[in-house]
Amino acid sequence: MSAEAVGMHMPAVVTLDDVATMNATDPNGHRYETSPEGVLSVMPPPDSDHAIIASRLFAWLIMAGWPAEQVLQAVGVRVPGPNGDGGRIPDLTVWRKPPARGVWSAVTDLVLVVEIVSPGSEAMDSVTKVREYSSAGIPRYWVVERDGPQTVTLHELTGDGRYAEHARMPLAWLLQNAPAEHLDR
Amino acid at 70: Q
Strands (E), 25-75: 31-34, 40-43, 71-73
Confidence of residue 91 (pLDDT cuts 50, 70, 90): very high
pTM (2 decimals)? 0.91
- Inform me whether the pLDDT recorded for 67 exceeds 90: yes
Instruction: Work out the number of other CB atoms within 10 angstroms of the CB of residue 5.
Output: 9
Q: Give the model's pLDDT for residue 45.
A: 87
User: Domains along the chain?
Assistant: 46-181 (3.90.1570.10)
Q: Are 22 and 2 in contact (CB under 8 A)?
A: no
Amino acid at 44: P
CA angle centred on 37, ends 87 and 11, rounded to 5°:
80
Q: Give the model's pLDDT for residue 4.
A: 66
> To the nearest whole percent, how much of the chain has pLDDT over 70?
95
Q: Are 83 and 109 in contact (CB under 8 A)?
A: no
Task: Measure Cα distances from 87 to 10, 40, 94, 105 in Å.
Answer: 17, 9, 17, 9
